Amino acid sequence: MNDIHLIITEDGSHSLFDSGLNETYHSIHGAIQESSHVFIKAGLEHWLENNKKSSLRILEIGFGTGLNAFLTAIYSLNHDRTIYYRSWEAFPINEEISDLLNYPIVLGSPDLFKSLHTASWEQAVVISSSFTLHKHNGDLINDSMEDDLLFDLIYYDAFGPSKQSAIWTKEVLTKVANTLDVRGSFVTYCAKGQVKRDLKSLGLMVETLPGPPGKLQMIRATRKFPSDSVD
């Protein structure tokens, strides 16, 4: 694993900087701001508004700092939604680093955040009455994915194509998209044209949405029923 150190982003929340990749885990314009915009508002809230269900399954690619999981767990408690959350991470950060992150200071719920990072890997762990976390330490490029488990929402939060291009190939996107249930959505901060074309070729309806501060656009792709209208 490369050298990882703490940085402050423009909204006052922490991110991590990976010196080997020369890349941050979250936007320098605001870590919490970015995750809230891309994954909670454009992902979770959008799915709930369109599906009117009280429970869902989420697959995250890139557990990283645990910020996306933390925001989602808080949302599940505040809005009475039951969430099963599966997260893939090839290089987990250690507890010494996670303890330095200021997300609990900004958002509250320090015990909840701690429990996300101390939860055992490779098993489903009940974090709260509404949130179950299953962390998997795996290599998305070479590992297979469960064929019998479908997800309502996918958070694709891997490092960008310019840093880890192998994570963004059509082969890997196909593997991940195959786990998306009907009317499920795939959201990512990335807005590259090739990613959009690959997702469209997989039969998904692709939208280019306004990005978070500091980024012009993002992607949301949805698996539609054949009878669903496409605007």
- At 182-228, the pLDDT tens digits run 999 999 999 999 999 999 999 999 999 999 999 999 999 999 876 56
Q: What was the pLDDT predicted at 86?
A: 98
pLDDT band at 231 (very low <50, low <70, confident <90, very high): very low
Q: What is the mean pLDDT of residues 79-96?
A: 96
Q: What is the mean pLDDT of residues 161-170?
A: 95
Which residue range(s) make up the domain with 185? 31-222
User: Among 77, 90, 76, 108, which Cα is nearest to 167's?
Assistant: 90
Query: Taking all residues of the chain, what is their mean pLDDT, rounded to a whole number?
Result: 95
| Partner residues linked to 218 by β-bridges | 209
Q: pTM here?
A: 0.96
Tell me, yes or no, whether 84 lies in a domain. yes
- Residue 220 CB neighbours (<10 A): 20
User: In angstroms, rounded to a whole number, what is the distance separating the alpha carbons of residues 119 and 117?
Assistant: 6
Q: What was the pLDDT predicted at 224?
A: 87
Residue for token pair 């250690």? 94
Largest CA distance in the chain: 51
pLDDT band at 134 (very low <50, low <70, confident <90, very high): very high
User: In angstroms, rounded to a whole number, what is the distance separating the alpha carbons of residues 164 and 59?
Assistant: 19
User: In angstroms, rounded to a whole number, what is the distance separating the alpha carbons of residues 101 and 201?
Assistant: 39
Tell me, yes or no, whether 228 lies in a domain. no
Q: What was the pLDDT predicted at 146?
A: 75
Tell me, yes or no, whether 4 lies in a domain. no
Lowest mean pLDDT across 29-43, 75-89, 107-121, 134-148: 134-148
- Residue 11 CB neighbours (<10 A): 18
Portion of the chain with pLDDT greater than 90, in percent: 92
pLDDT band at 145 (very low <50, low <70, confident <90, very high): confident
Here the CATH number for the domain that contains residue 205 is 3.40.50.150
| pLDDT at residue 65 greater than cutoff 90 | yes
| pLDDT at residue 1 greater than cutoff 80 | no
Q: Say if residues 51 and 152 touch (Cβ distance below 8 Å).
A: yes
Tell me, yes or no, whether 66 lies in a domain. yes
User: In angstroms, rounded to a whole number, what is the distance separating the alpha carbons of residues 161 and 169?
Assistant: 9
Portion of the chain with pLDDT greater than 70, in percent: 96
User: Among 187, 227, 229, which Cα is nearest to 209's?
Assistant: 187
Tell me, yes or no, whether 22 lies in a domain. no
State the helix-helix crossing angle for 110-118 and 67-78, rounded to 10 degrees: 130
Tell me, yes or no, whether 37 lies in a domain. yes
Tell me, yes or no, whether 162 lies in a domain. yes
Domain count along the chain: 1
| pLDDT at residue 230 greater than cutoff 60 | no
Tell me, yes or no, whether 41 lies in a domain. yes
